[in-house]
């Protein structure tokens, strides 16, 4: 800056360095792609619900089945152990 001439370009971080783990490389690639060209599910295809990778309630990634909060006793009485334990049902 004091001499008035341009300085040579310096690469501080090599994006495809072989000693970096593949997870780190993929994370950096994804981060750079998201910064320069962010994608949204609204931007692709025609606008149908199926265009999204995971529409709401798809359940494809969950390992366990859906489990309700209701517990049914042998006599048929229902209890909600996780919801409002101070309330008494009728």
**For residue 77, what pLDDT is reported?**
82
**Average pLDDT taken over every residue of the chain:** 72
**For residue 44, what pLDDT is reported?**
58
Q: By CB neighbour count within 10 A (0-12 exposed, 13-18 middle, 19+ buried), where does 20 fall?
A: middle
- Cβ 85 vs Cβ 79: under 8 Å: no
- Cβ 83 vs Cβ 69: under 8 Å: yes
| pLDDT exceeds cutoff 70 at 65 | no
Q: Hey, what are 9's tokens?
A: 């370009």
pLDDT tens readout for residues 5-46? 887 777 666 656 678 888 988 898 888 888 888 776 566 555
């Amino acid at each position: 800056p004091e001499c008035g001439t341009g300085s040579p370009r310096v690469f501080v971080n090599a994006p495809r360095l072989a000693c970096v783990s593949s997870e780190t490389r993929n994370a950096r690639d994804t981060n750079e792609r998201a910064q320069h060209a962010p994608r949204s599910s609204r931007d692709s295809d025609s606008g149908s619900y199926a265009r999204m990778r995971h529409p709401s309630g798809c359940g494809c990634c969950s390992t366990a089945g859906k489990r309700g909060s209701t517990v049914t006793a042998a006599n048929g009485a229902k209890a909600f152990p996780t919801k409002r334990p101070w309330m008494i049902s009728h």
